[in-house]
Homo-oligomer: A and B are copies of this chain.
Amino acid sequence: MERIEHRACFGGWQDVYRHQSSVLGCTMSFAIYLPPQAAHGPVPVLYWLSGLTCTEQNFITKAGAQRYATQHGIAIVCPDTSPRGEDVADAEGYDLGKGAGFYLNATREPWARHYRMHDYVVDELPALVEAHFPVTTARSISGHSMGGHGALVCALRNPGRYRSVSAFSPIVAPSQVPWGEKAFTAYLGEERGAWRQWDACELLREAGEKLPLLVDQGGDDEFLEGQLRPQLLQAAAAEAGHPLTLRIQPGYDHSYYFISSFIGDHVAHHAAALLGHHGGCEADGCCGGH
């Protein structure tokens, strides 16, 4: 593992590392923010999954989350959004192949060999982080758009693995929208039965753990009706009796201007779960006022 960036930020360090991933069969970069508290003892970790076209860089340069990570004393780890490298399959268009791994394990060629982002994010990367950095095994997960889908699916598929989960503008029902249909057809094949295990709305129906979901969605998001459709998550949660706080934020779009405006609420939500605080969550309408 090689450190390729090291930047002082809000009293801690925003670093980027490169390593060889055995799960993905390629060299990957990830970012880790270590707050000043990490110099004195291990801190819990929030994993952040970015959206289509992103790398490990977008969140760390644009979201402004380091301020809140320092405030609460938690680390933030940001993986890339797909396997990378010359021998990794790719496709034309921004929504399939590199930059568009959809946080699943592909079963179809030419994708199956490298596109195993679920196992990378859930298993390999946390094991690496927990072996090499001053962090505890308390984990939370969040993400944006394709990464919001990833966060919900990683949490719902792996009961007990995360203390809390949240999402910005997630693709909640990939089986029912163009981005998801294109990606799932390529990565998983045309048999829709295989898609269910990667679809948050489907997974909610049989979730073994009722981890509360915090979702923020911009009311003027350009992808709201075509790709995101949060009302499908709301219906699935209601049907399953799964706790969901869905906040439609009027006027906000799909950009990092939206994420930066509310990431403080999400970091507080995760910190409350990670640090065992009660009353620590500052998100309006979240956590039922506990």
Contacts and interface: CB of A to CB of B under 8 A. Distances in A.
A290 interface: no
- Give chain A's interface secondary structure class: mixed
A7 B62 contact: no
B253 A8 contact: yes
A251 B8 contact: yes
A256 interface: yes
A20 B81 CA distance: 40
* Identical chains bound together, number: 2
A231 interface: no
Interface centre among A64, A66, A250 (most CB of B within 10 A): A64
Contact of A8 (B9, B64, B220): B220
A257 B7 contact: yes
B8 A261 contact: yes
Interface string A253-276: 101111011000000000000000
Contacts of A251: 8
B62 A8 contact: no
A257 B9 contact: yes
B8 A260 contact: no
A44 interface: no
A61 interface: yes
A152 B96 CA distance: 48
A218 B62 contact: no
B61 A9 contact: no
Contacts of A10: 260-261
Interface string A57-73: 00001101011000000
